[in-house]
Amino acid sequence: MTADGPKNALPPLRLPRRTRRLLCWAFLLLVAAVVADLLTGPGTTLSPVLAVAPMLAGATTRSARVPLFAGAVATAAVVLLELSNSSLPDSVHLTALITVLAATLASAANVVLVSARERELTQVRTVAEAAQRALLRPPPERLGPLRVAVRYAAAAAEARIGGDLYEVVDTPHGIRILLGDVQGHGLPAVETAADVLGTFREAARTEPDLARVAERLDAALAGRAVNERFATAFLLDVERSGGRAGFVNCGHPHPLLRRAGRVTELAPPQHAPPLGLLGLIGGHYRAGGFDPLPGDLLLLYTDGVSEARNAADRFYPLARRLAGLPATSPGAVLDALLADVGDWVGVAGPTDDAALLALRWEH
């Protein structure tokens, strides 16, 4: 015993408003059942109805003490009704008592199991978020002539990490940027994304030719002995002086270039297969290029955005919506687009993960 109370005393129970309201209804049910039982007189009983009270009490709480307390009160009420209604057979009273006790224990056990499951899910989410932070590092907001912003939106709250990937690397050869989408979902897609990012971070610093970087990524995926997957990707090479920018598109949706309120697709010089599939057709990746101007905004995205559908099964009109956005900073543009996509798909929510990366040339 300490000055503050028993050493092993339970912490005070603080219930959410919804739980308190439901608990009040449970006790009102108890009172109503007892009153109705007394008014009906001998020969009938409503005591089995009292089993609903602990079930109702445990419906929205994560503390087993709540249904146990409600069950104790219900049990006391059953005993009270037994004493006041001795004309019924003992088997009826015993059945009501067993029913209330069974409902109490079942409700308490359910609360314990749900709480344990929620704790486990919270731990899994924490690990997934830590893995995502290690895998998808946030880029700097300003790098050379660029202002940079990135957003990653999971299709479900439980799926904090997936096959969409991005990276921004400052190298001796320029600012190298990657955005891609691995085939499939789940841990195999995450494993493939990790391989792509690891290869890109090394090759971007050592290979002066951006097309050669893409071929290194293709070889890394094609050489995997297990978990064979491909990935679409867009690679960008930006000069620190703000001059010509080069790019390689490996089967990825074409980025959108917004210039003076007009949006155009940044099409490659030739169509190329996704990473991991170049060997099926032979040849090499070819780099294209364009001359950015101050104020240009380039949007890189995965198909979780461009293929988002509304209730009428229509695709999200990304180019048209991007052209109409008043926002100019990359972060504000991405926030506005994600909010707009959410409104487009409605209550059904997105069906695929989405990654967006926006670049704005400041000079």
Instruction: Among 102, 128, 154, give the residue marking a domain's end.
Output: 128
Classify residue 6: in a domain, yes or no. no
Let me know: does 358 contact 330? Beta carbons within 8 Å. Answer: yes
Per-residue pLDDT, 271: 87
105/154 same-domain check: no
199/340 same-domain check: yes
154/44 same-domain check: no
100/229 same-domain check: no
Per-residue pLDDT, 11: 47
DSSP per position, 204-251: HHH-S-HHHHHHHHHHHHHT-SSS---EEEEEEEE-TTS--EEEEEEB
105/242 same-domain check: no
Classify residue 2: in a domain, yes or no. no
263/145 same-domain check: yes
Q: Chunked in runs of 10, what are the mean pLDDT values of the chain (363 residues)?
A: 45 57 67 69 69 77 82 81 71 82 89 86 68 78 95 66 86 95 80 90 96 95 75 95 91 96 93 90 90 96 91 92 93 95 81 89 86
Classify residue 90: in a domain, yes or no. yes
Per-residue pLDDT, 86: 66
CATH number for the domain spanning 211: value is 3.60.40.10
Per-residue pLDDT, 198: 93
Per-residue pLDDT, 9: 46
Classify residue 1: in a domain, yes or no. no
Expressed as residue numbers, the domain containing 314 is: 139-361
Instruction: Among 81, 109, 128, give the residue marking a domain's end.
Output: 128
Classify residue 229: in a domain, yes or no. yes
Per-residue pLDDT, 228: 65
User: What does the alpha-carbon distance between residue 186 and residue 91 come to, in Å, rounded to a whole number?
Assistant: 55
Let me know: does 170 contact 161? Beta carbons within 8 Å. Answer: no
User: What does the alpha-carbon distance between residue 220 and residue 197 come to, in Å, rounded to a whole number?
Assistant: 10
Closest C-alpha among 299, 295, 240 to residue 266: 299
Classify residue 206: in a domain, yes or no. yes
Instruction: Among 96, 128, 160, give the residue marking a domain's end.
Output: 128
State the number of CA atoms in the 13 A half-sphere of 80 facing the CB.
Answer: 15
Let me know: does 49 contact 26? Beta carbons within 8 Å. Answer: no
Classify residue 174: in a domain, yes or no. yes
119/158 same-domain check: no
**H or E element that contains 301:** strand 297-301
All residues at 6 or more sequence positions from 191 whose CB lies less than 8 Å from its CB, including other chains: 227
What is the identity of the amino acid at 317? P
Number of domains in the chain: 2
User: What does the alpha-carbon distance between residue 321 and residue 336 come to, in Å, rounded to a whole number?
Assistant: 10
- Three-point CA angle 292, 297, 300, nearest 5°: 105
Closest C-alpha among 182, 282, 260 to residue 228: 182
